[in-house]
Structure 1
């Protein structure tokens, strides 16, 4: 692809209290082999020196827009603000602690440009790193050639999205026109990915590029660690997305997959002591199929308001510690 034919790509970087990592994240953008980039950085009212690090990295010679929020509007709203200013054909949602491999954008653009317009997302494999940057496992296990050892869903992935978590969110490059058509992220939710996957995959295709192109940092404060914390809003957001999926489903198999996912969330509601929410999930499940005695038993225990959250979180913490000592990483 000739330089003048290369489409503009917008990288939207949202940061909050990430002074330790955001400088390295910015450098991973500046070091891309693909140069037709627009960088929009949004600081969500950081209380540490994140602002200073970003200012030190800014250069007048780069296509760099810096937005400083006076309060933390949340990830979804911050990204949508950046999306409203984006001029690129494609957009990347980048957290302030993740890293792009040098050729990531170039390879994803090449893939996108060969796809039909009904493809909205190109995603890839990723390598997890700890807070210190130590490399852990890959998102998809690979063989000696670096290829995923198991087939990764590609094309119409809506059923796969309903069934399980399989996409590493920061690896995605998205078609900007699709993002705008969908109205960006849902700002009423505490997270962006599951909702975006459901709404976009119901209409558009995804393409898996089988390479490790991103390093995702695992930190204790990550959203994934908050799902079992009572009152975090995570499970309430999952409930909202499940209602959207119910309206979008196209056949019985999709309803069966959604029902199985709802059962998982009911169990998580019990562990997180989100008892009333478990009952609401059960009502939604009943629209699809009979909940069955096992689910009804969990809902019954939720109605008893048993204080299980502390014990469960203690169990999970010690299980992870034990597995970590055996060489497993999270």
Structure 2
């Protein structure tokens, strides 16, 4: 198959103050074995030297496009602006503190072909690396009983409601799926949970059991800011849970959502985010799945 016959894949490289890691991330795009790529470099008003590095790579790779946000607009809005200017049949939301392994795009495109046209997203395993690039562990832990957390493929709506199992940096999304959803919800502080919920209602997900990505762990990463006092993402999580409530079609799915809401409630109480805890308790009541401990926590946050 010639390059022109291969599906076009868009890599949206999103940068905010990633200068320390940026060259390794961009080099990992250069080293992809898949030949038919569209690359958009997006800087969300970084205050370090990221924009200078991005300009250099854009000059060295004339086919790459550079979008410099005049002000910080957040990941969801920045990605949507790139989405509207892109053409790929598949898209990768690539945070430029992470690293794509050379076979990432080629193997994900092949997985889409195996999964069929109902597949809206392919995800895989990842290596978690520290600030210096040293391996910490894999996203999925392996033992005699299998992978933990347990991955899921196919129709996974109830799975994504109940539990966390997808490594976000490994996702490759079908353009048609994103267009059906209208892109990311720009009212949210983060995008992945909302994408999983809305996409999984009408599209299948496919798990590729191999490492295709390295996810960087560092103090400024989004994952380090959640579940703390004044959690900046909790309001968005509650908003997505409300969306999920509206999408549930039966009590089994509402029970799955209750597992997620119960977890968020306990974390909110633990970190003294009491207004949000009250919202979560009300949602549990509406779902009809309040347990004894839930009720006790509800009384605590009520007062």
TM-score (normalizing by structure 1): 0.87
Query: In structure 2, do the counterparts of structure 1 residues 91 and 295 end up closer, same or farther at CA, with 3 Å as the change threshold?
Result: same
Deviation at 1:276, TM superposition (A): 1.4
Aligned to 2:57: 57
**Structure 1 equivalent of residue 300 of structure 2:** 301
Sort the Cα spacing of 1:235 and 1:151 in 2 relative to 1 into closer, same or farther, 3 A.
Answer: closer
2:41 maps to 41
What is the RMSD of the two structures over their aligned residues, measured on CA atoms?
1.8
Instruction: Map 1:104-123; keep pairs closer than 5 Å.
Output: 104-123=104-123
Determine the C-alpha separation between the residues in 1 that align with 2:251 and 2:127.
36
1: CA distance, partners of 2:168 / 2:61: 30
- Give the Å deviation of 1:143: 7.2
The DSSP-based 3-state class of the residue aligned with 2:19 is coil
Residue correspondence of structure 1 range 14-163 to structure 2 within 5 A = 14-59=14-59, 61-142=61-142, 152-163=151-162
Deviation, 1:56, is 1.9
Task: Extract unaligned runs of 5+ from structure 2.
Answer: none
1:177-256 aligned at under 5 Å gives the runs 177-256=176-255
Q: Which whole-Å CA distance do the structure 2 matches of 1:293 and 1:113 have between them?
A: 47
Distance in 2 between residues matched to 1:63 and 1:152, nearest whole Å: 36
Q: Secondary structure at the match of 1:59?
A: helix
- In the alignment, structure 1 segments of 5+ residues that lack a partner are 305-330
Q: 90-99 or 220-229, which moves further after superposition?
A: 220-229
Normalization by structure 2: what TM-score? Answer: 0.94
Paired residue total? 302
Q: CA deviation at 1:148?
A: 5.0
Shift of the 123–53 alpha-carbon distance from structure 1 to 2, 3 Å rule, reads same
CA contact (8 A) 2:150 2:165 kept: no
Aligned-residue offset at 1:279: 1.1
The aligned counterpart of 2:3 is 3
Q: CA deviation at 1:62?
A: 4.0
Match of residue 289 from structure 1? 288
* Aligned mates of 2:166, 2:250 — CA distance in 1: 23
Output the CA distance in 2 between the equivalents of 1:110 and 1:290: 41
Q: d(CA) in 2 for partners of 1:92 and 1:300?
A: 44
> What are the Cα deviations for residues 42-89 of structure 1, in whole angstroms up to 9, with x where unaligned?
101111101111122223544211011111100110011111111111
Alpha carbons 2:127, 2:137 under 8 Å: kept:
yes
Following superposition, the deviation at residue 136 of structure 1 comes to: 1.2
Quote the offset at 1:179 in angstroms.
0.4
Alpha carbons of 1:274 and 1:130: their partners in 2 closer, same or farther (altered >3 Å)? same
> Partner residue of 1:273?
272
Q: Residues of 1 paired with 2:289 and 2:148: CA distance?
A: 37
For 1:274 and 1:199, locate their aligned partners in 2 and report how far apart those are by CA, in whole Å: 26
Given that 1:37 and 1:63 are in contact with CA atoms closer than 8 Å, whether structure 2 keeps it comes out as no
2-structure distance, mates of 1:91, 1:97:
18
Q: Deviations over 1:2-50 (max 9, x none)?
A: 3331111100011011100011100000110111111111101111101
